[in-house]
Structure 1
Amino acid sequence: MVTLKKFKSGLLRLDDRILKGKLKSFYTRRIKYWRKAYVLTQDLYFPPHTASNKNIRMGPEGELLAIGGDWEPERIILAYKNGIYPVVFRDQPILWWTSERHCVMYPKDVHIPKNMRALIRQDKFKLTADKAFYEVVNACSETRKEYTWLTDEQVQAFHKLYDLGFAHSVEVWQDEKLVGGLFGISFGSYFHGESMFARVSHTSKLAYIGLSIRLAEMNFDIMDCGIWPTEHMKSLGAVVISRDEFLEILDKSKEAPEVIADWGALFENWDLKQAVQNHLDGLTTKMEGALT
């Protein structure tokens, strides 16, 4: 046993110093997940959710469904239309995940904390959509580098999706400077929030709240927060539902006609402060009606 440990230790040192991590890369790409999940081929196909490997998890929720494949737009959209999420780590194949629970936001139910209401009343920020998509993606990538988030391949994939009209960004501006935002994937009446960033405190929340209210006005069915719920998203009104419930909503929303004809005009001639007040008034009326 000691000899085996010394051998492994020596091999790792050799790989690190001389082979520059090639052995580790080969192991994680070719051996680590062998026979542990469905291996994707060139065919545009994903196995059913029930085929996931529950023993390989990401956090308490994620279950490994498939490995491999590519970042082509057709495969990514097929995945999202089936409630499957791609993640990639350094020197590993693309991993495709499912879960028995999903975190979602119903746009009409977005919660606006008091500090955000005060920030919005200051009227210091401007919202736009699809005006600086590449800059938003780059900013999100920069804030996640320590987690190998948004590799170069992923960034290029999102650029392609943007060119095809599937990916969109929301920007927050202050004095003509980009200070926050988010981007995600949308089709029908569905939006999946991919990532967000803030260079000024709370501006990522501002982008999310503004988008939620705007989508609620346009009767969007759902904002998908993925399968890794966070307290941050829950504080804004996101809830966790079962996979069956999620897939039922997803099937409805992906078959809906495109709700937004021009994302670039999403916030034009739109007053965030007034929209927030209308949203709060609507929630008050709803609560009063429930009590009578």
Structure 2
Amino acid sequence: MTLQKFKSGLLKLDDIILKGRLKAFYSHRIKYRGKAYVLTQDLYFPPHNTANKDIRMGPEGELLAVGGDWEPERIIFAYKNGVYPVVFKDQPILWWTAENHCVMYPKDIHIPKNMRALIRQNKFRLTIDKAFYDVVSACSETRQKYTWLTHEQVEAFHKLHALGFAHSVEVWQDEKLVGGLFGISFGSYFHGESMFARVSHTSKLAYIALSVRLAEMNFAIMDCGIWPTEHMKSLGAVVISRDEFLEILDRSKDVPDVIEDWDHLLDNWDLKQAVQNHFDGLTSQREGV
């Protein structure tokens, strides 16, 4: 029997009899041994430049550490240090860094013509933190095939929401939740975790509305993560170096929280007027006013 056939037979045996426990043991105990720092109970991450460049997530992600837990203290500590947790099926928590980051400066949000037309129609109602659990659930359903938003992560986000670190933007049509996003925020920093749309363009609408509102409050940065996408770039996101990102992150996390009462952030706020003010401001900048 060749080695390949032996491995194939062993995997089948594991699936049928051991219910994947052998694969899980390998992933948790052997696969990453010596390839990345193994977290302990201490809140610590190694320097970014020690990441394993040979183990990647997407075009930019580099594996920095393995293990740990989903406790709120560790997650917030990670984000405040520019580290992102991701978990895949039958694997330990993997913590990532990158030499480049995709970010949005809220004041630089680009609003395409089709979205301006949609905003003028005034067909949707927007809220913040009115249906956090429903938004996370919807994002989990749309991302299910990627298996990254696991039950443990969902529970962690619920805890972070209760502590005031995680927030959602909801888009409603006829009292039905049709789109939205959620993410983590502290100081003048917001990291978008995930978004969903049950009606075309509603996730983009949530993101634009949040960007414009945060720009009004002089938010420093919206972190789009280590996986730059054309979708985010089309809205004005840019790619910056890790050093530049960490410098902005340090300034953002060290200021007092810009927003204390998130769930009233969009009360009595007119998106259509805010978008008009946004473009008026851009015109004034170009004319040197």
What is the TM-score of this pair, normalised by structure 1?
Answer: 0.97
Aligned to 2:234: 235
Q: Where do 4+ consecutive residues of structure 1 move more than 3 Å?
A: none
- Cα shift readout 1:68-91 (whole Å, capped 9, x = no counterpart): 000000000000000000000000
Aligned to 1:247: 246
SS in 2 for 1:225: strand
Task: Report deviation, 1:201.
Answer: 0.3
- Cα shift readout 1:8-63 (whole Å, capped 9, x = no counterpart): 12111211222221111111111111110000001111111011011111112000
After TM superposition, the structure 1 = structure 2 runs for residues 260-279 of structure 1, keeping only pairs within 5 Å, are: 260-279=259-278
Q: Does 1:53 align with 2:52?
A: yes
Task: Report deviation, 1:288.
Answer: 2.7
List gaps (5 residues or longer) in structure 1: none
- Cα shift readout 1:219-275 (whole Å, capped 9, x = no counterpart): 000000011010000000000000010011000000111111200110001000000
SS in 1 for 2:287: helix
What is the TM-score of this pair, normalised by structure 2?
Answer: 0.98
- Cα shift readout 1:171-202 (whole Å, capped 9, x = no counterpart): 00111111100000000000000000000000
Task: Report deviation, 1:282.
Answer: 1.1
Return the letter of the residue paired with 2:33: W
After TM superposition, the structure 1 = structure 2 runs for residues 1-292 of structure 1, keeping only pairs within 5 Å, are: 3-289=2-288
Return the letter of the residue paired with 1:192: H
- Structure 2 CA distance, aligned partners of 1:169 and 1:12? 41
Is 279-288 or 268-277 further displaced after alignment?
Answer: 279-288
How many residues align? The count is 289
Task: Report deviation, 1:287.
Answer: 2.1
Percent identical across equivalent pairs?
Answer: 83
Task: Report deviation, 1:149.
Answer: 2.5
Task: Report deviation, 1:280.
Answer: 1.1
List gaps (5 residues or longer) in structure 2: none
Is 278-287 or 96-105 further displaced after alignment?
Answer: 278-287
- Structure 2 CA distance, aligned partners of 1:261 and 1:62? 32
CA RMSD for the aligned pairs?
Answer: 1.0
